[in-house]
Each structure stands twice: as structure tokens, then as C-alpha cells.
Amino acid sequence: MTTGERSTILISGGAGYIGSHVALALEQAGFSAVVLDSLVKGNRWATEHATAFRQGDIGDAAFVAAVCDEFQPVAALHFAAFIEVGESVQNPAMYFENNRDKAAVFFQTIAAKGVHNVVFSSTAAVYGEPDVVPIPETAPWQPINPYGQSKLDAEIALRAVAGVRSVTLRYFNVAGAAPEAGIGEAHVPESHLLPRLVLPLIGTPESLLDRLGLNSGFKVYGNDYPTPDGTAIRDYIHVLDLADAHVLALRYLLDGGETNIFNLGSGSGYSVQEIVTAARKVLERPDYEPGTAPRRAGDPAALIADSSKALSVLGWKPRRGIEAMIASATAWHRGERYLETIKAKLGDVKV
């Protein structure tokens, strides 16, 4: 059940953005992180802080069982999933196969091997566009895209596995990095707000911006929402705060906690204008003014998760604000590892 004196934790998708930061946090907290990842989306370098790495597919029951036999984990943290909403609309079958069906195989396989504590990294997209904001855990499920539905289906599959206690963590947007540890996000396509804002402002090669679709610069979509400054409000959590929440959820289960669901949020969210203002300060670009565009169809005025339950039960609250997210993301995106990784993913970029 242990590697040396340290409890071993299996991390599916631990070569991805969030999983790699959680692996780092687990190691720092005294656990041994064993990463299982197909590397279809993840990066091998992102596993360097883990105790061990095994490459394979979560839908391959024999492979998953062999990893469990080799390392005897006491718990598992599940991250492996496709995450692009637009792609899920274009190819829903791929998302349901990977996010739902393969996840179900993974859950059943590890349970058969005696792993009965699971933390599932889910999404607040299962709530769709709720009527109540901030969103409580009791809000009705009404996902509006295959990504959200596939994650909800995986949650249901996990809670149906006999003998397994689980914590499901639901959250919206994750940002920032741990540049001092050499890890951060490196996505193609780049759909996340913070990288799309920062990359054009920090001297990223034009050829790279062109391939990432960022040459036209960042745009504010809609400035006439019923919010204090007219721009949409969204919830952002620093990836290291999110990693802390996963460690706390794991300890909760290992201490005998019952199956539970927690929303994770910043408390009040950040408007797009607030993020732009913070970027001006952090990047020392006081004259920066992004372009504006009409609202996008279907974009609600505000999406914020209510994390009061996570505070009361897990003792979790975010400690890093939007400026820390921007500063750490900037340091990461300026680094050679990020640039080389993106060039390799794009294949034919000349800089």
C-alpha cells in the first residue's frame, strides 16, 4: 500500500495541466504520486515531479490493473479527459468515449484492485447556465454541451461503483502556473482567456501567435452586460489553489469522509475588465486597450461557483488572486519549455 513510508496515489491524466500541478502538490504533501497518462494531450516533462510514470490508456483495463498491481495505490485522482467545449460539439462521440466510457472502465478496474477512494476532477459545466449565482452544489444538472454531459455521466458512473467513496470537485476556469517548478499549461488550440490575453503582450513570436489564432489580439466580447462594469463575470482559480483542494479532498477521504461533492470558486469571480486591468498592472502596460466585439450568443452575464461548503468541510479557500495568476502565467509563457512544447505540437512553426 505504500512506496517506502509514503502512501501511493494514482493520478490519471497526471501529464496534463491540472494533473501535473496536483502531482507536485501531492509530493510536497508527503504522498507518492504515480502518474498514468496516454500522452495524447499531456506532456512527458509534466510528470517529472511524480514518483513514477506509466504511459497507457485509462480504458485499457489490463494496463490499469497492472499499474495497480505494481504500485498498490491507496487512492486515485482522476483527471484524464478531453476539455474543449467546441470540439465536444463537433465530435461528441469522441468525448463520450473518452470522458465517460473510458472513465467508467478506469473506475471499475481500480475498484476491483482495492482502490476505494477516488477524487474526481469534474467541472461546473454540469450546471449549464443556472438561475442561481453563485452556484450551489444543489443546483440542477443541465449541461448545455457534450463536454459537460460527458463529465456528468462520468460522475454518475463513479458514484455507481460499489464500495467506492468519492469526492467530486466542480469548478470553472483554472489559470496560472508553477514556473519555478517548470510546469504550466501548453494547449493547442489555446482557448483559455488568460493565455489569449497574455501571449500577444509578452513578445511571443508572430509566427506562433498566427498559428494559435492570436494575431488579432485579445477581444472583450460584450460590454453591456448587467454587471458593475458591463463585462461578463467568470470564476477563476489559481491552479495551485486547485491543487491544494485536491490534496484536502484526498485527506478527507483517507480520514474516512463519505462520498461528497464540492464546488470550488473564487468567491465573487472576476469581470473581463477586471482581468484586463490586472494585466495592465502586472505586465506594466498601462496604455493597453483590448479590442471589443459584440456579445457571443449564449454567454451568460455571470458564472460563479459557491465554495462555502468546501470551506466548511475541507477547510479550503483560494489564497491567490488574479494578479498572481497573471504573473505566474506570464513567467511560464515566456519560458523556453512552453515555447518549445507549442512549436512541437504545431509541428511546422518557424520562429
Structural domains of the chain ordered from first start:
2-172+236-264 (3.40.50.720), 179-234+270-303+321-346 (3.90.25.10)
State yes or no: pLDDT of 141 exceeds 90.
yes
Would you state the pLDDT for residue 215? 85
Query: Where is average pLDDT lowest: 36-40, 217-221, 330-334?
Result: 217-221
The answer to whether the CB of 113 falls within 8 A of the CB of 65 is: yes
Mean pLDDT of 178-202: 94
State yes or no: pLDDT of 1 exceeds 50.
no
Percentage, residues of the chain above pLDDT 70:
97
Any alpha helices (H) in the chain, and if so which ranges? 17-28, 61-71, 85-90, 92-95, 103-112, 146-159, 193-198, 206-211, 239-254, 272-282, 308-314, 322-333, 336-346
Query: Where is average pLDDT lowest: 141-145, 250-254, 293-297?
Result: 293-297
Mean pLDDT of 249-268: 96
Would you state the pLDDT for residue 3? 40
State yes or no: pLDDT of 127 exceeds 70.
yes
Write phi, then psi, for 150 (nearest 5 degrees).
-65, -35
Percentage, residues of the chain above pLDDT 90:
91
Would you state the pLDDT for residue 298? 81
Q: How confident is the model at residue 296 (pLDDT cuts 50, 70, 90)?
A: confident
The answer to whether the CB of 333 falls within 8 A of the CB of 195 is: yes
Would you state the pLDDT for residue 2? 41
State yes or no: pLDDT of 311 exceeds 90.
yes
Would you state the pLDDT for residue 348? 64
Query: Does 63 or 1 have the greater pLDDT score?
Result: 63
Among residues 287, 76, 282, which one has the least CA distance to residue 175? 282
The residues carrying an active-site annotation are 147
What is the rounded average pLDDT for all residues in the chain? 95
Would you state the pLDDT for residue 349? 56
Would you state the pLDDT for residue 4? 39
Report the phi/psi class of residue 55: left, alpha or beta, with left for phi > 0 and alpha for psi in -120 to 50. beta
State yes or no: pLDDT of 124 exceeds 70.
yes
